[in-house]
């Protein structure tokens, strides 16, 4: 079997774009992949088109070797754009391999550890009362892990303006009340989306009673592990880090130095199955569970579920279609075949490949829209983290 073509689709799904790729072969078997680099889809498409010239004519079964060729095939290796493109191709190659052999992808990864993959839900309700109501609703439906995100709630009258220190007292008060209202059975986390500095993140944690949070996700930017070491010395809350990391090398200092307690692997950014399984193994060696990032579409979700079936060290996975979130990323018409949530968990697929199909004809009717929503500014006009 030989690779004959690699096609790209940048398509609007819900309020975001998704970057979908299709790898075709001379035996009529195709594979689907997805890039996770949101708002940089055109850059990823350029990288995919570059890699197309490298892999067309090659055997799609040589996945690991093709990964190395794409990653190390030029002097300037690595980086988020390149690994996001590699991720999409790698996932598609595993989809091809599973279809060719008639087995689900998790069998190619060593078999499964579990029959279902548990999820966690999110609420970003605009008021404390609504956020508490969301949490109670979710708990009544069986969700025992909830990410409540008061740090990400913005007043619509001030859309685009974010002052970190103004959000901290409110977030600490809301999270404390949620814990009081929902009790000890709830596993409670929050996402700061790297909006804080070290002292700001420490201030948030220090304003809450011990035991309020079970995890704090991405409190500060992660380019500098020493900054996380400083924060780690100032707080007791478990940290969940890594959704932006493009490789095992990026994860390495955070895992080896104990700077993260949950590894937020994004299979569509880190390098696909080939790299994600290595990161999961590195985390396992340090007694760290993975908590995969999954903010995108059904291809990302399916790949994540197959990976999570095949690793022993799993906590929960991110679910963005729940009773408190309807983002539209799992469009049923655009993705007529997909891995579907059952209650609070994903069943491990049993069919060949990923178990996802994409409607190419319909995608042509969902044009790409340039995304400029990610910029936030402080009141003085300066850029702050989104």
* Crossing angle for the helix pair 198-206 and 225-232, to the nearest 10 degrees: 30
Give the other-Cβ count within 10 Å of 120's Cβ: 21
For 379, the 3-state DSSP assignment is coil
Give the other-Cβ count within 10 Å of 365's Cβ: 11
d(CA 99, CA 360) in angstroms, rounded, equals 19
DSSP assignment of 10-54, as one string?
EEEETTEEEEEEEEEETTS-EEEEEE--TT-HHHHHHHHHHHHHH
Give the other-Cβ count within 10 Å of 324's Cβ: 20
Instruction: Assign 3-class secondary structure to 177-240.
Output: HHHHHHCCCCEEEEECCCCCCHHHHHHHHHCCCCCCCCEEECCCCCCCHHHHHHHHCCCCCCEE
Residue 284 corresponds to which tokens in the numbers above? 């396992």
Q: What value, to the nearest 5°, has the Cα angle with vertex 316 and ends 375 and 149? A: 35
d(CA 31, CA 1) in angstroms, rounded, equals 13
Of 193, 194, 286, 306, the active-site residue reads 193
Residues near 191 by Cβ (< 8 Å), separated by ≥ 6? 122, 147, 149, 151, 152, 217, 218
Residue 161 corresponds to which tokens in the numbers above? 């303006």
Question: 194 catalytic, yes or no?
Answer: no
d(CA 56, CA 14) in angstroms, rounded, equals 32
Question: 306 catalytic, yes or no?
Answer: no
Q: What is the signed CA dihedral for 291, 250, 285, 281, rounded to 10 degrees?
A: 70
Residue 307 corresponds to which tokens in the numbers above? 């990976």
Residue in this structure with the two tokens 């790297």, named with its chain if needed: 194
d(CA 173, CA 298) in angstroms, rounded, equals 35
Of 30, 50, 113, 293, the active-site residue reads 293
Which H or E element spans position 306? helix 298-309
So which residues are the catalytic ones?
193, 293
């Amino acid at each position: 079997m030989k690779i004959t073509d690699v096609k790209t689709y940048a398509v609007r799904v819900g309020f975001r774009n998704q970057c979908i790729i299709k790898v075709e072969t001379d035996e009529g078997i195709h594979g689907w992949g997805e890039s996770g680099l949101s708002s940089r889809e055109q850059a990823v498409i350029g990288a995919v088109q570059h890699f197309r010239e490298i892999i067309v004519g090659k055997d799609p079964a040589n996945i690991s070797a093709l990964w190395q060729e794409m990653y190390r095939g030029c002097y300037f290796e690595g980086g988020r754009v390149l690994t996001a493109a590699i991720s999409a191709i790698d996932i598609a190659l595993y989809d091809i391999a599973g279809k060719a052999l008639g087995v689900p992808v998790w069998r190619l990864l060593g078999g499964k550890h579990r029959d279902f993959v548990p999820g966690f839900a999110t609420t970003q309700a605009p008021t404390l009362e609504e956020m508490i109501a969301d949490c109670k609703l979710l708990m009544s439906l069986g969700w025992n892990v909830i990410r409540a995100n008061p740090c990400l709630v913005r007043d619509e009258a001030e859309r685009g303006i974010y002052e970190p220190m103004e959000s901290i007292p409110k977030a600490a008060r809301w999270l404390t009340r949620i814990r009081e209202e929902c009790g000890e059975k709830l596993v409670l986390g929050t996402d700061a989306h790297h909006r804080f500095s070290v002292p700001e993140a420490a201030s948030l944690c220090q304003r809450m009673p011990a035991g309020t949070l079970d995890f704090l996700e991405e409190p500060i930017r992660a380019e500098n592990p020493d900054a996380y070491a400083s924060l780690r010395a100032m707080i007791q809350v478990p940290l969940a880090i890594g959704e932006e990391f493009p490789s095992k090398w990026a994860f390495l200092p955070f895992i080896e130095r104990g700077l993260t307690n949950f590894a937020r692997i994004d299979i569509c950014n880190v390098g696909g199955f080939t790299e994600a399984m290595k990161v999961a193994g590195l985390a396992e060696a340090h007694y760290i569970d993975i908590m995969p990032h999954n903010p995108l579409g059904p291809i990302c979700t399916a790949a994540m579920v197959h990976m999570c079936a095949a690793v022993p060290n799993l906590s929960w996975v991110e679910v963005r279609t729940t009773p408190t979130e309807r983002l539209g990323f799992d469009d049923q018409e655009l993705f007529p075949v997909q891995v579907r949530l059952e209650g609070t968990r994903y069943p491990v697929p049993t069919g060949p490949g990923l178990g996802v199909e994409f409607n190419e004809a319909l995608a042509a009717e969902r044009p790409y829209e340039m995304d400029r929503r990610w910029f936030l500014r402080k009141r003085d006009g300066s850029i702050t983290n989104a």
